Structures are given as C-alpha cells and as structure tokens.
Structure 1
Amino acid sequence: MAGFVEQLWESIFTPGPTPTLLLATNVTFASLQLVLLALLIATYSVHFVALSLISGGLWWAINWFAAELNAAKAHEEAEKTRVEQRSTQQGSDDSETEVETIVSDSNPKTGSKAVEPAAQTGDLKHRSAEHSFESKSAASTEDEWEKVSENEKDK
C-alpha cells in the first residue's frame, strides 16, 4: 500500500496519464458510484440518480481522454521510429542540407474585375499637399500655444 501511495504521488508530477493515476481514478469513481447507490436506496431521491449519471459521464470522459492521449503518444513514437529508420536507410553519405525547389507558374495571375473604383461624382475637395500630413487638431493646438505665449508676454 505504501508503494502504491508513493507511485501515486510521483505520477502526479509525471506528464500524461500513468497507470497508477488511472487506477486511483477508477477506484475513486467506483467508490463514488457505490456511495450514490447506497444513498439512492436509503432516501429514494431522484437527485442521486442525476448525480450518478453526471459522475458516470465524467468517469467515462476521463478514461476516454486518457486512451486518446495514449493512442496519440503511441502514434508519435511510431512516427519517430519510422523517421529514424528512413534516416538510417539513406546512409551517412547524404548531407543534411535543405534543398529549395523552384516551381514556376505558367498561368499569370489576373486580378478580379468585380471590384473597380467608382467614378467620381459630385463636388469633392482635394487636400493640398502641404496639409496632407497635418491632423485637424494640429492647427488648433498651435493656436492654443500662441495664445498661451501671448498671455505670458503680457505679464
């Protein structure tokens, strides 16, 4: 029992679902289901049926997620061994340099004609080149500074 508790404590800090952690989770959920069943028999309350269904759904979801993680881990390890086998089959003669392949496109890309600029209608004012970079507040700010400096000269 002490060995199981030590393994459980260590499995908490190990990434992924460990067999010890899954065993502890399954025993805990089974105990919860037994307690909910005993409470249902003792009280005849429908609430314990609902709690049992929620607990069962969570129990199933945890086991499903752990199985998916293990399957992904196995797939990743299989892919890693496959890549290692390919690299050993190619031999040490091949250099590990990247090669760029240039693909030419024989069809020139043409833009869509669906959106075109609308024709200018009505009286529009064009901005002059000297005021194009100033914001609307720039002129008013300069005027305010001039007023402040005039007031200081009066003192």
Structure 2
Amino acid sequence: MASFVQDLWESIFTPGPTPTLLIATNVTFAALQVVLAGLLFATYSIHFAILSVISGGLWAAINWFAKELKIHQQQEEEKERRAQAAARHVISSEDSETEVEGAAASTTSLRGKESPPPKVAVKAADVEPAELLGELKHRLVSEEALSQGTKSSVSTEDEWERVSENESK
C-alpha cells in the first residue's frame, strides 16, 4: 500500500496517464458511484440519480481519453521506429556516403570510385574581414527624443521619402 501511494504521488508529476493514476481514478469513481447509489436509496431523490449519470459520463470520458492517448503514443513510437529503420536502410545503401553520429559508412559513390568524405578546416587566421563600403555615421538625437527613449526622431516613412527624392534626382 505504501508503494502504491508513493507511485501515485510520483505519477502526478509524470506527463500522461500512468497506470497507477488510472487505477486510482477508477477506484475513486467506483467509490463515488457507490456513495451516490447509497444516497439515492436512502433519500429517493432524483438529484443523486442525475449526479450518478454525470459522474458515470465523466468516468467514461476519462477512460476513453486515456485509451486514445495510449493509442496515439503507440502510433508515434511506430513512426519513430520506421524512421530509424529508414535511416539504417539509407546508411546501408551502396550508392551513397553517409556519416551518422560519428560512424562513417564509406561506400561506392555514383561515379563508382571509393573516396573518403571531404574534410574542410578553417582557421581564424585564414578568414579576412569584409571590406568596409562606407563610413558609419551616428544620427543626431534631439533632447526630446532622448526623453522619450528613442534614438531617432525621424520616422521610417520620412526616411523612405528622402530616399525616393534622392532617386528621382
């Protein structure tokens, strides 16, 4: 019993319906149905019959949802297995060179020659900075724009108008 309670507590923090959580849910709903049936026979009130129907519907819906979720998880696992099998098939094919997770499969290329995959190494000293095309200029910022937290008091539309004026000249 102690291990069931511990498993139930851990299943609360596990995503998805766990078997322990489903057992606890079913036992709880069964106990609720017994209590509602007892109250119905003790009071002959229609309210307990209605509550029993609502409770039974909720119970069935929860079990249906758990079953559908399990089916979906099985379908996802099957898709994953198929994708892994397809990846293994691609690796073992004879007309490609594929490197997967550090394991290289060197096979015949399309030209019919055996060749290792090309390796390219670039050092920081080999890279040259790009040529600067123009001098960067900072825009002047007015006191009012600084107080508003913006860097430019000119809107984008005004800048596009200036560009179109310069192009038409």
TM-score by length of 1: 0.60
Structure-to-structure mapping, 1:4-153, within 5 angstroms: 4-91=4-91, 93-95=96-98
| Amino acid paired to 1:6 | Q
**Root-mean-square deviation over aligned CA pairs:** 1.7
Assess if the C-alpha contact under 8 Å between 2:8 and 2:21 holds in 1.
yes
* Structure of larger gyration radius: 1
Aligned to 1:121: none
| Amino acid paired to 1:15 | P
Structure 1 segments of 4+ aligned residues over 2 angstroms from their partners:
92-96
Where structure 1 has 5 or more consecutive residues not aligned to the other structure, the ranges are: 97-132, 134-155
CA distance in 1, matches of 2:26, 2:51: 17
SS at match of 1:91: helix
CA distance in 1, matches of 2:17, 2:97: 40
Alpha-carbon shift at residue 91 of structure 1 (Å): 1.3
CA distance in 2, matches of 1:61, 1:87: 39
CA distance in 1, matches of 2:23, 2:17: 10
| Amino acid paired to 2:76 | E
CA distance in 2, matches of 1:33, 1:2: 25
Identical columns (%)? 61
CA distance in 1, matches of 2:2, 2:15: 22
The number of residues matched between the two structures is: 98
Structure ranking higher on relative contact order (CA contacts 8 Å, 6+ apart) = 1
Where structure 2 has 5 or more consecutive residues not aligned to the other structure, the ranges are: 100-156, 158-169
CA distance in 2, matches of 1:94, 1:32: 63
Aligned to 1:112: none
Assess if the C-alpha contact under 8 Å between 2:91 and 2:98 holds in 1.
no
Alpha-carbon shift at residue 94 of structure 1 (Å): 4.2
Deviations 1:36-91 (A, max 9, x none): 00000000000000000000000000000001110000000000000000110111
